[in-house]
């Protein structure tokens, strides 16, 4: 792991993802999670303060170990027990039908093999489990999409593989997950090429 990815990017990521404008969306998304929870792309643990009070334990995966120092700080002050795994979403060691809920916030944009990752999410979800997601991605506006396609390769270099132009709805729907709730909007105070949002819940088909 390079120095930038391990030491610099985690700090930049934490700064951007900690913005106040994201808090209401995180809180709303997580308000209904329950049971045995897996969070993918745990990052620096920003979601911890937005889980409902009844959630006292979660399992998390994060491939970038440079995120861990800040994440551990948040775990210590959260009161939530966290089972850490440093690995990628596209190959998880958990048994089939393990989790009642899987949470993903700003993660599907950077999974290298995102289709495998979504199949893994489906596999580890219980039959009546739910996939909670808050992601940025492809805009329906052709002018915005044009800039997303142009800037995505550059963004990926500086943002640890983050793609600006993934169609999150289509990706989820084409991997045996059925979206039951979906909100699309442009995130305020954010450039449109980076701020078209997909927030929702999906189930196994």
Tokens of 69: 């120092």
CA torsion through residues 157, 39, 120, 172, sign: negative
> Are 192 and 143 within 8 A, CB to CB?
no
pTM equals 0.96
Q: Write down the pLDDT at residue 76.
A: 94
Going along the chain, which residue ranges are E strands? 37-40, 57-61, 81-85, 99-105, 125-136, 177-186, 196-204
Q: Write down the pLDDT at residue 205.
A: 85
Cα distance between residue 125 and residue 129, in whole Å: 5
**Tokens 């491939």 sit on residue:** 63
Over the stretch 133-150, which tens digit does the pLDDT of each residue have?
999 999 999 999 999 999
Q: Write down the pLDDT at residue 2.
A: 86
Domains of the chain (ranges, CATH numbers): 3-204 (3.40.50.150)
Cα distance between residue 196 and residue 193, in whole Å: 7
Q: Write down the pLDDT at residue 176.
A: 81
Over the stretch 30-48, which tens digit does the pLDDT of each residue have?
999 999 999 999 999 999 9
Tokens of 127: 């039959």
Start-to-end C-alpha separation, the chain:
38
Q: Write down the pLDDT at residue 126.
A: 97
Give the residues of the chain that fall short of pLDDT 50: none
CA 174 vs. chain centroid, Å, equals 18
Q: Write down the pLDDT at residue 116.
A: 94
> Are 121 and 203 within 8 A, CB to CB?
no
Cα distance between residue 107 and residue 29, in whole Å: 15
Q: Write down the pLDDT at residue 178.
A: 95
């Amino acid at each position: 792991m390079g120095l930038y990815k391990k030491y610099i990017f985690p700090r930049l990521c934490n700064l951007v993802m900690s913005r106040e404008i994201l808090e209401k969306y995180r809180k709303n998304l997580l308000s209904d999670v329950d049971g045995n929870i897996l969070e993918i792309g745990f990052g620096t643990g920003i979601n911890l303060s937005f889980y409902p009070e009844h959630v006292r334990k979660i399992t998390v995966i994060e491939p970038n170990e440079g995120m861990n120092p800040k994440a551990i700080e948040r775990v210590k002050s959260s009161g939530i027990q966290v089972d850490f795994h440093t690995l990628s979403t596209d190959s998880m060691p958990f048994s089939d039908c393990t989790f009642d809920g899987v949470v993903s916030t700003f993660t599907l944009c950077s999974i290298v093999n995102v289709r495998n990752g979504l199949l893994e999410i489906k596999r580890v979800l219980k039959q009546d489990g739910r996939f909670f997601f808050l992601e940025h991605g492809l805009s329906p506006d052709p002018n915005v999409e044009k800039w997303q396609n142009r800037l995505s390769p550059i963004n990926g270099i500086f943002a640890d593989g983050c793609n600006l132009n993934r169609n999150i709805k289509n990706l989820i729907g084409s991997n045996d997950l059925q979206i039951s709730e979906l909100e699309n909007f442009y995130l305020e105070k954010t450039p449109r090429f980076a701020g078209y949002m997909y927030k929702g819940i999906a189930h196994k088909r």
